[in-house]
Copies of this chain bind each other. A is one copy, B any other.
Amino acid sequence: MTEPPKKRGRPRAFDPSLALDRATDTFLRFGYAGASLEALTTAMGVNKPSLYATFGDKRRLFFRALEELATKIGRRCRLAFERGDSLESSLREMFLEAVDIYSSSDAPAGCLVVSGSATEAIVDEGMAQFSRELFALCDKVMAKWMVPYVREGSAVSAMVLSQLCNGVIHDISLRARIGESKVKLREHARGAAVALARSVT
């Protein structure tokens, strides 16, 4: 499968998927407003007309990057959570994974929503809505993971715990972005796992 469909005209000289990854890095690095078309096209190895033909304008390119990255990160978090065999160990795995994601040496530090679309959200209702829906989804999905660990009638519901976990992850992305060391971030992740696990006991 995925054999080339043998299209008619001149073949593209770049890999759209790879180019999108480069665009993601550029948006991560400079933010949405700060990422100039020149920086984007240079990083992507693509001319402006090709960029427009393939991805539409800057804003649509950003949404494509957002969607792709959110999916990737969501999957990594779920897999990390599933590695644990207790609430505390699951949270620890997930938070440590967040440290790896947001302070990887392969990409600019931080989160494309926290430091990208959220910043733009005030002047772009579309980005605000995207962010709200994504946050709501994360809260809801993660709450499901929490259910087995929350006693019935507990003072702390699965949803509250889930929102706190997402808050910790957002905070890790922030602290990574401003250059806190991996050692410190990992300590932070472990401490948060202990505390949040204790909150439902």
Contacts and interface: CB of A to CB of B under 8 A. Distances in A.
Interface of A: 28-31, 33-34, 108-110, 114-123, 125, 128-129, 131-132, 135, 155-157, 159-161, 163-164, 166-168, 170-171, 174-175, 177-180, 188, 191-192, 194-196, 198-201
A195 B194 contact: no
A199 B108 CA distance: 33
Given A132-B179, A171-B171, A188-B163, A194 B122 contact: no
B33 A30 contact: yes
Q: Kindly report how many copies of this chain are found in the complex they form together.
A: 2
Contact of A31 (B120, B157, B160, B168): B120
B170 A128 contact: no
B170 A122 contact: no
Contacts of A163: 171, 188, 191-192
B155 A164 contact: no
A45 B156 CA distance: 49
30 contacts: A29-B122, A31-B31, A31-B33, A31-B119, A34-B119, A110-B118, A118-B178, A119-B119, A119-B177, A121-B179, A128-B178, A129-B179, A131-B178, A132-B180, A156-B194, A160-B192, A160-B194, A160-B195, A163-B171, A164-B191, A167-B167, A167-B168, A167-B170, A167-B171, A171-B171, A195-B199, A195-B200, A196-B199, A198-B198, A198-B200
